[in-house]
Amino acid sequence: MSGNDAVSRAVWDAGVRVAAAYPGTPSTEMLEVLSTYPDIYTEWSVNEKVSLEVAFGASMAGSRAFCAMKHVGVNVASDALMTLTLTGVKGGLVLAVADDVGLSSSQNEQDSRTWGRFAHIPVLEPADSQEAYDFTLAAFDLSERFQTPVLLRLTTRICHVKALVTVGERKTYPAAGFTKESTRWVMVPGHAARRLPLLFEREKALAVASAESALNFIDDGSDRRVGFIATGPAAMHVREAFPDAPLFKLGFAYPAPIERLREFAASVDKLVVVEEIEPLLENELKAAGIAVSGKDILPRIGELAPNVLKPAVAGLLGETLPASQVAAPLPVFPRPPTMCVACPHLGVYYTLSQVKNVTVAGDIGCYTLGAGHPWNALDACISMGASMGMALGLDKGRGEADADRRIVAVIGDSTFMHMGMQGLLDIVYNRGNVTVLLLDNRAVGMTGGQNNPGNGRDIHNNPAPQIDFESLVKALGVREERVHVVNPYELPTLFKRLREETKIPEPSVIITNQPCVLVQDYQPKSPFMVEEDRCTGCGSCVDIGCPAIHVTRRDTVQKPNGKEVARSFVRIETAACTGCGLCLQPCAPKAIVPAAVAAKVHVLQQH
φ and ψ of 66, to 5 deg: -140, 145
Q: How many angstroms separate the CA atoms of 112 and 428, rounded?
A: 35
DSSP alpha helix (H) spans, 213-319: 232-241, 258-266, 280-287, 306-317
* Number of neighbouring beta carbons within 10 Å of residue 28: 24
Residues paired with 272 in a beta bridge? 228, 293
- Measuring CA to CA, which residue among 182, 306, 331 is closest to residue 233? 306
Q: How many angstroms separate the CA atoms of 329 and 307, rounded?
A: 8
Annotated binding site: 535, 538, 541, 546, 577, 580, 583, 587
DSSP string, 468-479: -HHHHHHHTT--
CA distances from 182 to 53, 80, 145, 178, 399 (A): 17, 17, 22, 12, 52
Annotated binding site for [4Fe-4S] cluster: 535, 538, 541, 546, 577, 580, 583, 587
Q: Among positive and negative, which fits the CA dihedral 531, 537, 541, 546?
A: positive
CB 518 within 8 A of CB 445: yes
- Measuring CA to CA, which residue among 500, 505, 503 is closest to residue 484? 500
CB 132 within 8 A of CB 3: yes
Q: Given the DSSP bridges, would you call strands 528-530 and 592-594 parallel, antiparallel or unpaired?
A: antiparallel
CA distances from 195 to 31, 88, 124, 159, 184 (A): 32, 9, 24, 35, 8
For 209, the enclosing helix (H) or strand (E) is helix 189-212
Q: How many angstroms separate the CA atoms of 215 and 125, rounded?
A: 9
Q: Among positive and negative, which fits the CA dihedral 206, 207, 212, 217?
A: positive
